[in-house]
Amino acid sequence: MQHDAVIDYERQMGMENFHPSLVRGPVGAAADPAGEGRSPAPEPKLTARGVNFYYGSKQALRGVNIGFSPRRVTAIIGPSGCGKSTFIRLLNRMQELVPETRMEGEILLDGLDIMSSACDPSELRKRVGMVFQKPNPFPKTIYENVAYGPEVNGVKGRNLIEEKVVDSLKKAALWGEVKDRLKDSALGLSGGQQQRLCIARCLAVEPEVILFDEPCASLDPISTGKVEELILELKKDYTIVIVTHNMQQAARVSDRTAFFLMGELVEEGDTERIFKAPRDGRTEDYITGRFG
Amino acid sequence: MTAAGAAGAGLPVRARGRSKRRSLAQKLGFAALGACMAANVFFLGAILFFIASRGLGAINWAFLTQVPRDSMTAGGVAPAIVGTLYLTLGAVLFALPLGVACAVYLTEYSPKGWSAALLRVGVNNLAGVPSVVFGLFGLTVFVKYFGFGVSIVSGSLTLGILALPVIISASQEALTAVPQSVREASLALGATQWETIRRVVLPAALPGILTGVILSVGRVAGETAPILFTAAAFYVRGFPQSPMSEVMALPYHIYALMTEGTHPEIQTRIAYGCSLLLLALVLSVSLIAILIRQRQRKACHAA
C-alpha cells in the first residue's frame, strides 16, 4: 500500500536505521523518474547524522538525523529557540562563524563530509546557498548585487556575468520590476523586492541546495505570497530547506516537514501526514496550537 | 472643544499641575541647550572674524604665489603653502593604508581576547601623546636613526604617526557599523573572508573612513611641534626640490614670524595672513572630503 510505503520510508529517514546506500552515489534524474511528490523521495542530497551542537557548554541540538531530497521542499518548524535556525546554518557551515561553538556528528553532501578538512567552506557555500531571515542586499546597485556571486566565484567575461544576472533575476521573478533600474541602489527596493533580489543573488551562483532561514519573517503577506510561489517554482531544480515558524507556510510550500523541539528532531515526514496525523504527542500539541 | 482639550479637562488638578511643571522643565532644558549652542557658534564666529579681519589685508595674489623676500617682510609665502601640502599629503599617504589595515585587522581578524583589547588601549593612548613628544620621536627615529635628515620624509612620517590613532579609531568605528548580515551574505555566496572585506565591507565603510581622514588632515596640517625638529625650516630658498629637502610650512612659519622676527609690525600681519590661509586650506580639504563622502553615500543608499 502506498501509505505503508511512505511510513516505511519515514522510519528509515527519521531515525537510527540509516543505510549507507542512502547517502552514497550521485543523485540524478534517474532516482526519481516520475518526479512525483508523493512517490518515495529520491536519495537525499544532504544528510545529517547524529548532529549535536553546543554553544559553549549549552547543548542546542541533540542527535539530529535527517535527509533532504532533491526537488523537494523540506520545512523545519518549531517554536522559538528550538534549534531550527542553528540547524539550517550548520548545513552551509555559517554557524561556525559564531565563536565558542562545537558540533558533533556528520553532515554529508552527496556523500562528502562537509565538516572534513577536504571540504572548503567557500566551495561548500557555493553549492549550498542561503537566503536569510532579513533581506540583506549589499549596499551596491541591483546589478552588482547579483553579479557579486559569479564574480567572486571566478566567472570571467562581462557578457557571461550579465547573462547570469538577467537569468537569475528572471528566475527570481524580479526582472520585470527592476530591468530599467539595474544601476540603482538595491537599498531602494521594497522589503519583498529586496528578499527576491537576495534569492536572485543566491541563484546566480548556481547552487544545488538552497537554504531559506525564515525568508518571510519580515515581509508583508503579498510579498510572502510571491516568495512562496517562487519557492514552489524553484523546487523543480533544487533541493530546498526552509525554516519557518509559520505552520501555514510550511503546509503551503513543503513536501516534507520536520518538527524541532528543544534541540531535538521530534518528528519528520510527509507534510500532509505530519499535519493530519502526527505520531508524536508533542507535534500534535504544537500543530494544534497548544504551545509555541 | 477639541479632543485634546477634553482629555486635559478630564485630568485631576494635581496631574494638570505636574504636566505644567514638566513642560516648563522641558522648555528650560531646550533653552539651556540652545544657549550652549549659541556660545559655540559665537566663539567659532569670533575666531573666524578675528583671523579674517587681521589676515585678509595681507592676502593677495603675490602673497600666494611668491617666495619671501627682504628677510620675511615682503613677498609671499608660497613655499610654506607648498610645504604644508607636501607634508600633509605625505602623512596621509603613509597613515591611511597603515591605519586602515590596522583597523581591519583589529575588527575583522584579531581574536576577540585580551590581546585585541590591549592593542585597542594602545591605539587610544597613542592619541593622547603630546605632539611635541611625537616630534622628539621623529627626530630620534626618522631623522637620526634612519638617516632621513630634516626633510619632508621625516616630517611626513612623524605627522603620519600622529594621524594614525584618529584614522584607526574612525576606521574601526566605520567597519563595526557595517552590519554582520552583509558579511554573512557575502560568505554565504562562497566568497572568502578576504574577498568579503575587500569587496563588501571596506566599500561600505568608506564614508566613515573618509571622515577619519578629514579629521586627521585637519589635525596634521596645523601641527607645529612634530615638524619642529623633523622637517621645518624658517627660510628655504625657493621651493622644495626633493622629498629629502627641508621645507617651510605654514604653522611653523607663523610661529617663526611671531618669535624670531626683526620687523614685528609687518611680520604680525603676514602671520595673520598665514593663519587665515591655513584655516582656509584645512576647511577646503574637509569640504572636498565631505563632497566625496556625500557622493559615496548617495551611491550606496537609496535615492
Per-residue pLDDT at B240: 84
Report CA-CA distances (Å) from B259 to A216, B75, B131, B253: 71, 19, 20, 10
CA atoms within 13 A of residue B119's CA, in its CB half-sphere: 18
Extents of the domains making up chain A: 3-136+209-287
On the question of pLDDT at A99 being above 60, the answer is yes
On the question of pLDDT at A243 being above 80, the answer is yes
On the question of pLDDT at A135 being above 90, the answer is yes
More confident residue, B240 or A183: A183
Per-residue pLDDT of chain B (303 residues; tens, 9 = 90+): 444 444 455 667 777 778 888 899 999 999 999 999 999 999 999 999 999 998 888 888 888 888 887 766 777 888 899 999 999 999 999 999 999 999 999 888 877 778 878 888 888 888 888 999 999 999 999 999 999 989 999 999 999 999 999 899 999 999 999 999 999 999 999 999 999 999 999 999 988 888 888 888 888 888 889 998 898 887 887 788 888 888 889 999 899 888 877 777 888 888 899 999 998 888 887 788 778 778 776 665 543
**DSSP single-letter state for residue B194:** H
Is A125 an interface residue toward B (CB < 8 Å)?
A: yes
Is A1 an interface residue toward B (CB < 8 Å)?
A: no
CA-nearest of A260, A263, A268, A236 to A105 is A263
What pTM, to 2 d.p., does this model score? Answer: 0.78
**Taking the CB of residue A264, how many other CB atoms lie within 10 A of it?**
16
Contact A148 B189 (CB under 8 A): yes
Chain B interface, Cβ < 8 Å to A: 112, 179, 181-182, 184-192, 195, 199-200, 203-204, 299-303
Contact A185 B303 (CB under 8 A): yes
Chain A neighbors of B184, CB-CB under 8 A:
94, 97, 132, 136
Per-residue pLDDT at A42: 73
Chain A neighbors of B302, CB-CB under 8 A:
185, 187-188
The ipTM, to two decimals, is 0.82
Residue B284 to chain A, least CA–CA distance (Å): 28
Q: Are A240 and A210 in contact (CB under 8 A)?
A: yes
Q: Are A283 and A258 in contact (CB under 8 A)?
A: no
Interface probe for B, chosen from A93, A124, A125, A189 (most Cβ of B below 10 Å), is A125
Per-residue pLDDT at B92: 93
Arithmetic mean of pLDDT, A32-46: 59
Cell numbers placing A98: 559564531
Arithmetic mean of pLDDT, A129-138: 94
Q: Are B213 and B92 in contact (CB under 8 A)?
A: yes
* Closest B-chain CA to A120: B190
Nearest to A138 among B187, B200, B299 (CB): B200
Contact A136 B303 (CB under 8 A): no
Long-range pairs, B293-299, Cβ under 8 A, ≥24: B293/B207, B293/B210, B293/B211, B296/B206, B296/B207, B296/B210, B297/B207, B299/A185
Q: Are B124 and B165 in contact (CB under 8 A)?
A: yes
Per-residue pLDDT at B11: 64
Is A152 an interface residue toward B (CB < 8 Å)?
A: yes
On the question of pLDDT at A163 being above 90, the answer is yes
Q: Are B167 and B95 in contact (CB under 8 A)?
A: yes
On the question of pLDDT at A291 being above 80, the answer is no
Taking phi over 0 as left and psi of -120 to 50 as alpha, with beta for the rest, B238 belongs to left
Contact A136 B189 (CB under 8 A): no
What's the whole-number average pLDDT of chain A? 85
CA-nearest of A81, A129, A119 to A242 is A129
Which CATH code is given to the segment(s) A3-136+209-287? 3.40.50.300
Percent of chain A at pLDDT exceeding 90: 72
**DSSP single-letter state for residue A21:** G
Per-residue pLDDT at A33: 38
Nearest to A94 among B179, B188, B191 (CB): B188
Q: What is the CA radius of gyration of chain A?
A: 19
Helix intervals (H) in chain A: 2-14, 84-90, 121-127, 142-152, 158-171, 175-178, 191-203, 221-234, 247-253, 271-276, 281-287
Contact B181 A136 (CB under 8 A): yes
Per-residue pLDDT at A82: 92
What is the distance between the alpha carbons of residues B151 and B140, in angstroms, rounded to a whole number? 13
Chain B neighbors of A152, CB-CB under 8 A:
186, 189-192, 195, 199
DSSP 3-state of A50: strand
Report CA-CA distances (Å) from A218 to A124, A193, A215, B3: 27, 12, 8, 36
CA atoms within 13 A of residue A195's CA, in its CB half-sphere: 24
Q: What are the structural domains of chain B?
A: 78-302 (1.10.3720.10)
Kindly report the backbone phi and psi dihedral angles of residue A217, in degrees, each rounded to the nearest multiple of 5, phi listed first.
Answer: -60, -30
What is the distance between the alpha carbons of residues A29 and A35, in angstroms, rounded to a whole number? 8
DSSP 3-state of B151: coil
Nearest to A149 among B112, B190, B301 (CB): B190
